């Protein structure tokens, strides 16, 4: 972190985004003008058996930070979302979609501008498949891919950060911006090319092993829902998604249900409220079991 921001003081607070007291304390001390909210549990297979934690952190944690931004008069709140929020097949995507809905609708009740930016995988980020493949190739293989037809969108860290900041500038509040990530990349092809770039031959020097889809995984992700009318923004890499509105009173009633479900550890209440927010989410959470955390998701 120090290398990325040499000479710039970076205070650190170890706390839970779903802890209102800790979040308020951080805002009281530092009085931020702009909030970039990227904190979330993102590991898809792990969250499939952790409904309460997915909701508590990804939904209620977003609400806590958003309310603090409103209370302390922040000018903008930039919510970092994911392509997995579109037609979600997993709890990670469904919980992030609820957070999108909250931020979009809270914008109408706050002087803070709430802006959502949605995109896919970032090359080289924590949990990225590229470092995993590099480690596997260095160890002599095999390189593990979940499915031969698995595809994902990719973008570099630098490009994603630049576009997020540009979206924050052009956003007036309440938007969901979708970053144009060009064509998706087949993960098997990526593995093949990385092996060849290392000077090895796939199938001879290093094997590619297909391990099967993990809980909650989709073969292909989408950047926008069929009901979202995309509009141009003046930046060819940033599109605006016209999204579905939710009645504010009902939205808050359902958030209370989510809070009660977390407080009582009631998965049935949590799932019912989650499906009210995201009716296109139809998957069932899986029972707690050992999870393979390796691979692309």
The tens digit of pLDDT for each residue in 58-68 reads 999 999 999 99
- 254 catalytically annotated: no
Residue 95 has pLDDT above 90, yes or no: yes
Q: Of residues 84, 96, 237, 254, which has the active-site annotation?
A: 84
In a domain, 3, yes or no: no
Look at residue 289 in the predicted model and tell me its pLDDT: 45
Q: Is residue 19 part of a domain?
A: no
Residue 265 domain-assigned (yes or no): yes
- Across the range 170-199, mean pLDDT stands at 92
Which pLDDT value is given to residue 183?
86
pTM: 0.88
Do the domain assignments include residue 286? no
Q: Residue 282: its pLDDT value, please?
A: 73
What pLDDT is recorded for position 169? 94
| Segment among 59-63, 232-236, 289-293 with least mean pLDDT | 289-293
For residue 92, the enclosing domain spans 27-277
> Number of folded domains in the chain?
1
Q: Mean pLDDT across the chain, nearest whole number?
A: 89
Query: Crossing angle for the helix pair 20-30 and 61-71, nearest 10 degrees?
Result: 30
In a domain, 249, yes or no: yes
The reported pLDDT for the residue numbered 24 is 97
CATH number at residue 171: 3.40.50.720
70 falls within a domain? yes
Tokens of 201: 């031959």
- What are the tens digits of pLDDT across the range 143-154? 999 999 999 888
pLDDT tier, 297 (very low <50, low <70, confident <90, very high otherwise): very low
């Amino acid at each position: 972190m120090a290398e990325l921001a040499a000479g710039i003081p970076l205070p650190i607070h170890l706390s839970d985004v779903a802890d209102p007291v800790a979040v308020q304390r951080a805002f009281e001390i530092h009085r931020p003008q702009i909030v970039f909210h990227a904190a979330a549990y993102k590991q898809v297979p792990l969250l499939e058996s952790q409904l309460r934690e997915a909701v508590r952190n990804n939904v209620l944690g977003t609400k806590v930070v958003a309310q603090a931004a409103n209370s302390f008069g922040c000018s903008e709140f930039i919510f970092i979302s994911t392509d997995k929020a579109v037609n979600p097949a997993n709890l990670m995507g469904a919980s992030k979609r609820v957070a999108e809905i909250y931020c979009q609708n809270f914008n109408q009740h706050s002087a803070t501008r709430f802006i959502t930016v949605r995109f896919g995988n970032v090359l080289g980020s924590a949990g990225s498949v590229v470092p995993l493949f590099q480690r596997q190739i260095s160890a002599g293989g095999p390189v593990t891919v979940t499915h031969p037809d698995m595809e994902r969108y990719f973008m570099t860290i630098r490009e994603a950060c630049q576009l997020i900041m540009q979206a924050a500038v052009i956003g007036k509040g309440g938007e969901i911006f979708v970053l144009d990530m060009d064509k998706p990349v087949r993960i098997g092809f990526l593995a093949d090319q990385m092996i060849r770039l290392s000077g090895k031959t796939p199938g001879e020097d290093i094997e590619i092993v297909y391990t099967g889809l993990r809980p909650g995984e989709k073969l292909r992700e989408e950047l926008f829902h069929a009901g979202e009318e995309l509009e141009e923004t003046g930046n060819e890499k940033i599109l605006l998604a016209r999204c579905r509105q939710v009645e504010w009173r009902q939205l808050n009633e359902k958030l209370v249900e989510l809070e009660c479900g977390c407080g009582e550890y009631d998965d049935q209440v949590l799932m019912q409220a989650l499906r009210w927010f995201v009716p296109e989410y139809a998957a069932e959470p899986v029972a707690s079991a050992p999870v393979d955390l390796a691979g692309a998701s």
